[in-house]
Structure 1
Amino acid sequence: MTKFRLKLTALFVLLIGFSVLAAGLLMGNSYQKNHQDALRDHMIRELHVLNAAAPWPESKDEAEQGAYFQEQAKRFKEIAGMRVTYIRLDGKVLGDSDHEPETMDNHLTRKEVRQAMNEGTGSSVRLSDTLKERMMYVAITVGGANGGPKEGIIRLSMSLGDIERSLNNMWLALIFGLCMLFVVAGIVSYRVALSVTRPLERMTSAAKRMANMDYAIRVPESGRDEMSELARALNAMAGSLQGQVDEIRRNGVRLQDVLDNMTSGVVMVAHDGRITLYNRQAELLLGGSVKERVGRSFSEIRQHYELVGIIREGLESHSPIHEELTVYYPEERLLEIHLVPMTMSGEEESGLLLVLQDVSAIRRLERMRSEFVANVSHELKTPVAAVKGFAETLLAGAVNDPETARSFLTIIQDESDRLNRLIGDILELSKIESRRSPLQFSPIDLPMFLGRMKELLSADAARKSITLDVQSEEGLFLEADEDRLGQIVMNLLQNGINYTPEGGKVKVLAEIVVDEDTEEELVRITVSDTGIGIPKKDIPRIFERFYRVDKARSRSSGGTGLGLSIVKHLTELHHGTIRIESTVGVGSRFILELPLIQP
C-alpha cells in the first residue's frame, strides 16, 4: 500500500508539474512574442519618424548621399541609441551608424530587406555577424521628398539582449516557482493520496486479519463517501462472520465437551485409514493421546492387534460390526465395540465410526449376580434338605423313639435357625445395597458402646474360654448410626470368636488417628484375634458374599458367609475403610477407620 501511495503521489505531482510547465512555456513564448511584436511596432514608428526628420535626398551623387546618410545615421545613433543603416535598392549599404559602409556586405539577401522591398515593411531576428549577438532588424522602403517612387531602404536594428535577459529572469522565476510548486504539490498530493490510501490500508489490513479468522477487527467508518460505505459494508460482514464463527465455536466446544465427557470411547477413521477423532474416553480405554493418534493410521495402534483387524474388516466390507473384545493395554478390560460405516464431511468415500463401551463391570456384576443366585440356592438347599430329610425320617417311624426324635428335632430346629439367619442376612444385605434404609447419624460414646458389645458377646466367648478385651480412649465420641455400627462391630467380634480356638483372645482397640494425606481426624477400631488366620491368597476376596476360607468350619460355626460383606457395605456407607492383616496360624486384625465427624 505504501508503494501505491507513492505512485499516486508521483502521478499527482507529474500531472501538476506538466500542467504548470506547459502553462509556463506558453506564457514565456507569449511574453517573448508580444514583447518582440511591441518592439517591432515601436521600431517601425521610429523609422517613420527618422524618415520624416531626414528624408531620402534627391541628389543622385553617390558620394554626397553616402556622406549624408553616414552623418544622419551617426546623429540618430547618438539620439536614439539604435543602429541605423541606409541601403540602396540594389542592396548596397550607403550609411551605417556602427560601421563604415565600404566594409559591409551587400544586404540584398537579408530577410528584412527582401520583405521590405516586397511589402514595404520587413523584420527579422537573427545573430548579427558583425556584433555577434541576437538582433531585431526592422526595415521600410522610402521614396523621394515629394512621394515619388521608392529609392531606398532604411533599416533599424536593436539588440535583444535586454529582452533575453528579461526572459531568462522570467524563466528562472518560473523554474523556481515550478520547483516550489512541485514541493507544495508533492506535499498536497501525498496528503491527498494518504487520505485515499489510508482507508484502503485499514480495509486491506482488516481483510487480512479476517482471512486469519480474526473477525473482531473493525474499520473506522465516519463519513458519507464511498470509502466509508465500503468500510461499513466490511464491518457488517465482519460482524456477521464473527457471530457465525462464535456460534460455530460454541457448538464445537459443546460437541467437544460432550465427546470428552462421554462414558463411551469414540474413534473416527477416514476412508484412507487416518484417525480423525479420538476422544478422552478412548484415550482411557485404548491408551495413547489425541496428539499421538489423530492424523495417523489406525494400523499404528500396535497394542491392539484384534481391534486393528476389526477396523480393517470394517473399511473393506463397509458394513456394521458389533463385537466384544478383551484388551490388555493400558489395563485389562472387556470392551463392547460398535463399528458403523459413515461418510465424513467433504469426502466421497465412507469412513468408520467406532463406539467403545467398557462392559467389564457389567459383566462382572452379571457374573456376581449369577454366582450370588447359585450361592443362595446352594446355601438354602443345605438346611432345607436337612430339615426335609430328618422330617421324612421322623414320619417314617423314628418319632416313636423319644431319644432319636429329640435328636432329629434339635437338628431340624438348628437348621431352621440357620435358614432364618441366612434369609435375614440376605434381606439385610439387599436393603443395605439398595439404600432403602438411610443411616441416622448421632454422637456415640464409644467406650460405653463397646462395653455393651462386650456384654452381648461375653457368653459366646465364655463358652470357648476366649478372653474378650475391649480398650478405648476415655471421652471418645464418634458420629455414626448406632445400630449399623453395632452390626459392624458385632460381626467382627463374632467372626473373631468363631475362628479363634478355645483359650484364645479377641481384642478391641479404639483410638484417634490422623490421616497423613488429608490431615483429617479418624477413629480407628481394631479387632484382632489369635485364631487360625487367613491365607494371603484369600484376603482380596474375604469381603465377597458367601466366600469362605474354610467352608466346613464356617458351616459348623453357623456362619452364613454374608457377615463380612455386610460389614464392608456398612463401612462404606459411613464413609470409612476397612482392611485386613492376617498371618496363618497366628491370627487376624480387622482395621476399621471411620471419620470422627461425618461429612
Structure 2
Amino acid sequence: MKPFRIRLTLILMALIGISMIGAGFTMAHLFKNSHVAALEENMSREIKLLSGTFQFQDMNGADAITYYTGQAERIAKLTNSRITFITKDGKVIGDSEKNPREMDNHSTREEEVIAAEEGIGRAIRYSNTLDQKMLYVAGAVVSDQGFDGFIRLSMDLKAVTEGLNRAWTIMAGGLILLFIAATFVSYKVASSMTSPLEQITRVARRITDLDYDARVPWKRKDEIGQLATAINVMADSLQTQLKTIRDNEDLLQSVLDNMTGGIVMINAEGEIALLNRASERLLDVDNSEMAGHSFRELKRHYELTKLVEEGVSRKEPIHEERSIYNPGERIVRLDGVPMIQDGTYRGMLFLLQEVTEIRALERMRSEFVANVSHELKTPVAAVKGFAETLLGGGVKDEKTANSFLQIIYDENERLNRLIGDILELSKIESKRVQLDCSPIHLIEFFDSVLETLSKVAEKKNISLSSNVPAELFIEGDEDKLRQIFMNLLSNAINYTHDGGSVKVTAMNHLKPDGTENVIFTVSDTGMGIPRKDLPRIFERFYRVDKARSRSSGGTGLGLSIVKHLVELHRGVISVESDLGIGSSFILELPLLQEEEE
C-alpha cells in the first residue's frame, strides 16, 4: 500500500473517530440535560403537590423543628428524595437527612434566591453534607397555618451518571464496530482516490522532466477526471508554448547569426551576456569562452574596450568610431544603447559595424572629386590660355597660330574623352548598364579589333597578333567586350617601346565545378609596372607614369572602366608585370552568361 494511501485511510478513520466522539459527547450532554430537566420538572410538581396537601403548622412554634423534621423523613421515604423545610430568612426547620439545628443558614443558597424571585429555583452543586453532587429544587410556599418559606427537594445525580456510563459503553462498542467498517471503507475510498492521483502525479513528474508528450489516460466525469483533463490541457499548452519559444529562439538565433553587424550584450553586472557570430569574427573571440566574463577581458582591443566602458559607466547612448587591429587596421563604428525594462537598467546593447570599406569609398569619392576637378582644370586652363593669346592678337605668325589652334583642339578632344569616360564609369557603377548578350565568334571579333588598332601600332612599328581557336565562341555583350579589349590593347601599344609586340590569346578552360570559362591574356613587351603600383592599377585616375599618360591622351579611367565591365560579365581581371620586360592582363570570363531572374 502506498504511503499516501495509508495516510489518507488514517485521515478518514481519524475524521470518523472524531465525528463519533463528538457525536457521543453531544448525545451525552443532551441526555444529561434532558434527564436533569425531567427530574427538575417532577420535583417542581412534587413541591406544588406538597404545598397544596401538606398539613403546615406554625413554624415559630416550640415543636416546629420536631414536627417538620419528622414530616420530612416521612415524605423522603415516599419520594426517594431529600426534603428540607426552610424559613423565609434561611433558617432550616426540618430536614430528612440531617439535624436542622446543626445546618447553616440557607438564605444565600442559589435555589432559594431564585425561588424567592421566581417561585421555583433550581441548582446543581456538590453537597458537603452528603458528600456527593446533588440536584436542588426549591419552591416558595406560603400557608394560612403560619408557614412562610421554602420547601426544597434534592436528589443525587447517581442515576444520571449511571445512564451516561451505559450510553458510553454502547457508544464504545459502536465505535469499535464502526472503526472496523471504516477501515475497510476508507481503504476502498482511498484506493479509488489515490490510484488516479498517483497516475496524475507520475504524468506531472514526466512533464516536469520536460516530457511534454506525457498524458493522463483517465476519461472520468468526476473531479479526478476534470483534474486529469486539466493536466492534459496544460501539457498541450506547454508543448505548444515550448514549440513557439523554441521557434522564436531559433529565429532570433538565426537573425543574430546572419547579421552583418556584430552584437555585444553586456548585463547590469558588466559581464558579457551575448556575442553573435559577426562580433566573434570582428573581435576574434568566442562567445562560449567570453560569456559570463567581464567586458574588460577584451583587452586586446584597448580603444574599443575603453569606449564600451564609457558607455557602461554613463548608461547613456553612445555613437563612436574606433580602429582595431585584427590582423590589419579595421575601422569599427560602435553604437550603444542602454537596455531599460520596466524602469530597471538591465545592461547595454552594442552594435559593431565595420566601416573600413565605407570610409575607403568615401576617401575614394573625395579623391575622385579632387582628381576630376584637377583633370578638368588642366585642359580648360590650356584652352583658355591659348585662346586668350590668340584673341589678344599677340600671335602674328600663321604657323604659330595654327599650332595654338591644334593644341586647343587636342585639349578639347581630351576634355570630351574625359567627360565621356566619367559618364560611362558613372553609368556602370550605378548599375544602369544592361548587357545585350549574344554569341560572339572570337577569332572574327579580335580580327576586327586588331584591324582598328593596326594604324596606331604601325606608327610605332609594334607587331599586333592574336592566338584564338577558330571554333571558340563566347556569350557576351559585343560592344562592352570591344570596349574592354580596345582599352587594354591601346594601353599596351601606348606603353610599349617602338619595335615591340602586343599579343592577345584566348583559351577554353573547364573549372572543377563543371562550368566553362574563357581565359584571355593581353600581353606586351613594354616598360612594365612597378610592383608597388599593381594593387592600385585599377583605381580611378591612378597613373603609374603621370607625365607619359597625359602625353598619350589617357584619362586615367580606362582600366577602372575595364574592371567594372569585366565584373558586369561576371568575370575577374588580374595583372602580372615585370619592370623592363612587359605586362600581362589576364581576364577570366564565363563561356555562357546566366540569365537574370
Specify the TM-score bucket, using the shorter chain as the normaliser: 0.5 to 0.7
Work out whether 1:575 is the aligned partner of 2:574: no
Of 574, 580, 583, which residue of structure 2 is paired with 1:588? 583
Of 369, 374, 381, which residue of structure 1 is paired with 2:377? 381
Looking at structure 2, the residues matched to 524 and 302 of structure 1 have their Cα atoms a distance apart, in angstroms, of: 48
Which residue identity does 2:406 align to in structure 1?
Answer: T
Q: Is the 8 A contact 2:5 2:194 kept in 1?
A: no
| Correspondence list, 1:299-448, <5 A | 299-329=296-326, 331-343=328-340, 348-448=344-444
Partner residue, 1:545: 540
Report how many residues are paired. Answer: 425
Of 199, 206, 211, which residue of structure 2 is paired with 1:209? 206
Which residue identity does 1:542 align to in structure 2?
Answer: I
Looking at structure 2, the residues matched to 360 and 191 of structure 1 have their Cα atoms a distance apart, in angstroms, of: 81
Query: Displacement of 1:198 after TM fit?
Result: 4.5
Partner residue, 1:523: 518
Instruction: Describe the superposition over 1:44-90 as per-residue Cα deviations: whole angstroms up to 9, x where unpaired.
Output: xxxxxxxxxxxxxxxxxxxxxxxxxxxxxxxxxxxxxxxxxxxxxxx
Query: Displacement of 1:8 after TM fit?
Result: 7.5
Partner residue, 2:148: none
- Relative to structure 1, the CA distance from residue 189 to residue 510 in structure 2 (aligned partners, 3 Å threshold; closer, same or farther) is farther
Which residue identity does 1:588 align to in structure 2?
Answer: S
- Relative to structure 1, the CA distance from residue 303 to residue 271 in structure 2 (aligned partners, 3 Å threshold; closer, same or farther) is same
| Correspondence list, 1:79-478, <5 A | 197-329=194-326, 331-343=328-340, 348-478=344-474
Query: Displacement of 1:469 after TM fit?
Result: 0.8
Looking at structure 2, the residues matched to 567 and 193 of structure 1 have their Cα atoms a distance apart, in angstroms, of: 92
Looking at structure 1, the residues matched to 236 and 195 of structure 2 have their Cα atoms a distance apart, in angstroms, of: 22
Partner residue, 1:558: 553
- Relative to structure 1, the CA distance from residue 321 to residue 455 in structure 2 (aligned partners, 3 Å threshold; closer, same or farther) is same
Q: Secondary structure of 1:473's match?
A: coil
Q: Secondary structure of 1:400's match?
A: coil
Looking at structure 2, the residues matched to 279 and 543 of structure 1 have their Cα atoms a distance apart, in angstroms, of: 36
Looking at structure 1, the residues matched to 189 and 578 of structure 2 have their Cα atoms a distance apart, in angstroms, of: 99
Query: Displacement of 1:190 after TM fit?
Result: 10
Query: Displacement of 1:313 after TM fit?
Result: 2.1
Looking at structure 2, the residues matched to 303 and 461 of structure 1 have their Cα atoms a distance apart, in angstroms, of: 58
Instruction: Describe the superposition over 1:431-462 as per-residue Cα deviations: whole angstroms up to 9, x where unpaired.
Output: 11112120011100000000000100000100
Q: Is the 8 A contact 2:461 2:499 kept in 1?
A: yes
Query: Displacement of 1:335 after TM fit?
Result: 1.2
TM-score by length of 1: 0.67
- Relative to structure 1, the CA distance from residue 567 to residue 194 in structure 2 (aligned partners, 3 Å threshold; closer, same or farther) is farther
Q: Is the 8 A contact 2:264 2:274 kept in 1?
A: yes
Q: Is the 8 A contact 1:320 1:339 kept in 2?
A: yes
Instruction: Describe the superposition over 1:29-56 as per-residue Cα deviations: whole angstroms up to 9, x where unpaired.
Output: xxxxxxxxxxxxxxxxxxxxxxxxxxxx
Query: Displacement of 1:263 after TM fit?
Result: 2.8
Q: Is the 8 A contact 2:519 2:589 kept in 1?
A: yes
Partner residue, 1:4: 3
Q: Is the 8 A contact 2:338 2:345 kept in 1?
A: no
Looking at structure 2, the residues matched to 511 and 553 of structure 1 have their Cα atoms a distance apart, in angstroms, of: 33
Instruction: Describe the superposition over 1:472-519 as per-residue Cα deviations: whole angstroms up to 9, x where unpaired.
Output: 11111000100000011111100100000000000111111122x424
- Relative to structure 1, the CA distance from residue 287 to residue 202 in structure 2 (aligned partners, 3 Å threshold; closer, same or farther) is farther
Query: Displacement of 1:9 after TM fit?
Result: 12
Looking at structure 2, the residues matched to 189 and 465 of structure 1 have their Cα atoms a distance apart, in angstroms, of: 121
Partner residue, 1:501: 497
Query: Displacement of 1:528 after TM fit?
Result: 0.4
Which residue identity does 2:391 align to in structure 1?
Answer: L
Looking at structure 2, the residues matched to 464 and 550 of structure 1 have their Cα atoms a distance apart, in angstroms, of: 19
Query: Displacement of 1:254 after TM fit?
Result: 3.0
Q: Is the 8 A contact 2:263 2:350 kept in 1?
A: yes
Q: Secondary structure of 2:517's match?
A: strand
Which residue identity does 2:579 align to in structure 1?
Answer: V
Which residue identity does 1:253 align to in structure 2?
Answer: D
Q: Is the 8 A contact 1:286 1:330 kept in 2?
A: no
- Relative to structure 1, the CA distance from residue 365 to residue 373 in structure 2 (aligned partners, 3 Å threshold; closer, same or farther) is same
Looking at structure 1, the residues matched to 405 and 345 of structure 2 have their Cα atoms a distance apart, in angstroms, of: 79
Query: Displacement of 1:524 after TM fit?
Result: 1.0
Q: Secondary structure of 1:537's match?
A: helix
TM-score by length of 2: 0.67
Q: Secondary structure of 1:501's match?
A: coil
- Relative to structure 1, the CA distance from residue 330 to residue 238 in structure 2 (aligned partners, 3 Å threshold; closer, same or farther) is farther
Looking at structure 1, the residues matched to 513 and 463 of structure 2 have their Cα atoms a distance apart, in angstroms, of: 36
Looking at structure 1, the residues matched to 319 and 380 of structure 2 have their Cα atoms a distance apart, in angstroms, of: 45
Which residue identity does 1:569 align to in structure 2?
Answer: H
Query: Displacement of 1:205 after TM fit?
Result: 2.6
Query: Displacement of 1:594 after TM fit?
Result: 0.6
Q: Is the 8 A contact 1:303 1:329 kept in 2?
A: no
Larger radius of gyration: 1
Query: Displacement of 1:278 after TM fit?
Result: 1.6
Query: Displacement of 1:356 after TM fit?
Result: 1.5
Q: Is the 8 A contact 1:342 1:353 kept in 2?
A: yes
Q: Is the 8 A contact 1:267 1:278 kept in 2?
A: yes
Q: Is the 8 A contact 1:5 1:190 kept in 2?
A: no
% identity of equivalent residues = 57
Which residue identity does 2:293 align to in structure 1?
Answer: R
Of 507, 510, 535, which residue of structure 2 is paired with 1:514? 510
Instruction: Describe the superposition over 1:542-582 as per-residue Cα deviations: whole angstroms up to 9, x where unpaired.
Output: 00000010001101111111111011000001111111110
Looking at structure 2, the residues matched to 202 and 505 of structure 1 have their Cα atoms a distance apart, in angstroms, of: 95
Looking at structure 2, the residues matched to 350 and 231 of structure 1 have their Cα atoms a distance apart, in angstroms, of: 41
